A and B are shown apart, each in its own frame.
Chain A
């Protein structure tokens, strides 16, 4: 566990959490406060863990009598978001050959280059192998080339994410990965976005008024992504096990899951982008500090990336019988390659860290969650 003095953002978060622990009014909103109360002293690793348990619903901020302009100046969601931003950089893996982790900028550049290469490659091949039936991706790109173009960055990402997760888990003293109960509880909380329910009060987002919009839209994105992943698996099963090559009919699992998932992601990401904008306006109007500015930019970037991914995929599927199919598929593949390559360097990592934090919390609270107590 990361020990040592708490300074900077950790000292500020810890100062605020000490006030919270003496007050406890927010105990019913989410998992953060019961988790805080179980700690006998707060280390840097603990603050990191609490930061990822926080889903930035802002209920504790709107309920806080110590929020600025009170002299105690408590704004827990803002303080924890600064810690989250820090941890997204801090826990990137260190490779044996490099003194420092790959910088975010280098990763973005590499991903951009990869995407451009895929586009260039496809335009040189200009029509691919032409062996498939109309609407088949293999008319545009050969199966092994497709597998390599998408698989290599995906593999890279999985390795970096695993390294990040391992470092994060050590730093926060995580436990519970071997406990089916903790895993199940974490999955249940993640699937229903329980920590965005505010103990029944919904979120104070995008304004200070209660709203379920964020949880619902986030649910669309989560489940849209799951449907898209299932669509890919269904296609692989059809092709490699059932021996039935693409394209698949409209009433097939790959197409239906892809369309539903893609549409969910487009709606969800679009809605969340609008909510983010409204939250920004509300923050500017009230003058109260909100989410860490750099983290907010990464939030926009993640939503924009996922929106582009889903929209190009959806268009490729819907327009597969038209002349636009080739160029659209090329663009979609370039986006896929870029997204896969940079995922561990983006806010996508919140999926990993939040889930790990939920597992750890579930283990600590012995299967309970917010609102339950030992």
Chain B
């Protein structure tokens, strides 16, 4: 049995970071094994729901018209949340991102022009043809053609360590049961713990019960927990996560992109008391959409409501479950289970503050920060503020939809997992969401998860191959 001969590199996790690591390793050593938790039809974890990657490019092309320089991406990264966790590793990520698109093309990925309805992303983000599952299909094809082995339906039960060396992993594979896999080096690319509600509850309390998870239920962080148990050092904040506003009717797990709501910059958002609580027009949507999961998580009952009118109804992607609609604001409020008087008063106050700022329809421009704002309103709406006065009116209830958690293992520049005693494992590496806390603190920048996965997948794959050669 091949399981008896040690594998050069065992990669845990068959999403973007794991595949990039496995393909990179296979270009350097011969025996590479990829362990995927899901069955083949559901392979790829959160990558299934991705659609673009944010990279530095010094020239424009058909897919990303215009320049996006190192300093601009670095500036964007510093402007979200508390900025980068580790300046060294974050700047390495940004610098390495420049060669990511060509690497992806060389490994079977095709591109498409920016999707319609994705305002402001066209210059900075590159869309892969067909989205994340198509990307996964291409990478798996490339990987299998390169001769690496994939085990599906494979759950890692334990990671065996002797001193600072990993010797193998124990897995269970459905009907095949438990077995031990001997490895010369291991790459952990198994994602965050966002689907582990008990774990989230430790940091969020009962609020976690109202969180919806945008990716599969298998993202329970068991490999991360195992690494902590072995003495791996922590990187990132306990409450760090990428979380967006999604339709409150979405499934508990795996709703993905179709349940996301992009109505916020064109609407007012109220909480269950019918009160506004945050500037809906603070920044361009791709730079601010990721704060809204956190915003809603901080509201009573972890729920909020986006309310808009017919004048802006076609400016964002149409919600999958459709909005509540009514001839007046009170009707929308009633349909959403809110107090009609409170919501009507909030909208009237908002409209007055828009008029006070001298709103002119000709200045309203969804494609840029248009300066259409409120006057004398707290909190203000700084852009795209226009009166909500054209029936029918629409509204949708929203919950925090968690994409992935940031807290993970601390790594070196070689993606080597560090330990709490100040050392590092000799042959254990990490890539992707499980080490994203080295780069991200509390905020998120659209498309940067794929960037982290690809950059660190390459680093971890190459480091693991080198470690395997030393071990053999």
Contacts and interface: CB of A to CB of B under 8 A. Distances in A.
Contact of B115 (A25, A67, A72, A199): A25
A28 B254 contact: no
B123 interface: no
A23 B118 CA distance: 10
7 contacts: A19-B258, A21-B318, A27-B116, A29-B130, A63-B130, A69-B41, A70-B254
Interface in A96-132: none
A65 interface: yes
Given A22-B257, A23-B257, A69-B42, A34 B116 contact: yes
A90 B42 CA distance: 38
Contacts of A26: 130-131
Interface string B26-69: 00000000000000011000001101000000000000000000
Given A21-B318, A23-B258, A65 B131 contact: yes
Contact of B251 (A18, A65, A71, A373): A71
Q: Which of A22, A60, A63 has the most CB of B within 10 A?
A: A22
Interface in A337-374: 371, 373
Contact of B113 (A18, A21, A70, A373): A373
Q: Which of A18, A19, A40, A63 has the most CB of B within 10 A?
A: A63
Nearest to A28: B112
A260 to B, nearest CB: 34
Interface of A: 18-19, 21-29, 34, 37, 40, 59-60, 62-67, 69-72, 199-201, 208-209, 371, 373
A22 B129 contact: no
B112 A199 contact: yes
Contacts, number: 91
B317 A201 contact: no
Interface stretch (B133-141, B223-231, B462-470): B133-141
Contacts of B258: 19, 22-23, 66, 72
Nearest to B255: A72
Nearest to A68: B41
Nearest to B141: A209
Contact of A27 (B49, B112, B320): B112
B371 interface: no
B381 to A, nearest CB: 25
B318 A22 contact: yes
A19 B320 contact: yes
Contact of A65 (B117, B118, B133, B260): B133
A201 B110 contact: yes
B319 interface: yes
Contacts of B132: 25, 65
A62 B49 CA distance: 14
B318 A59 contact: no
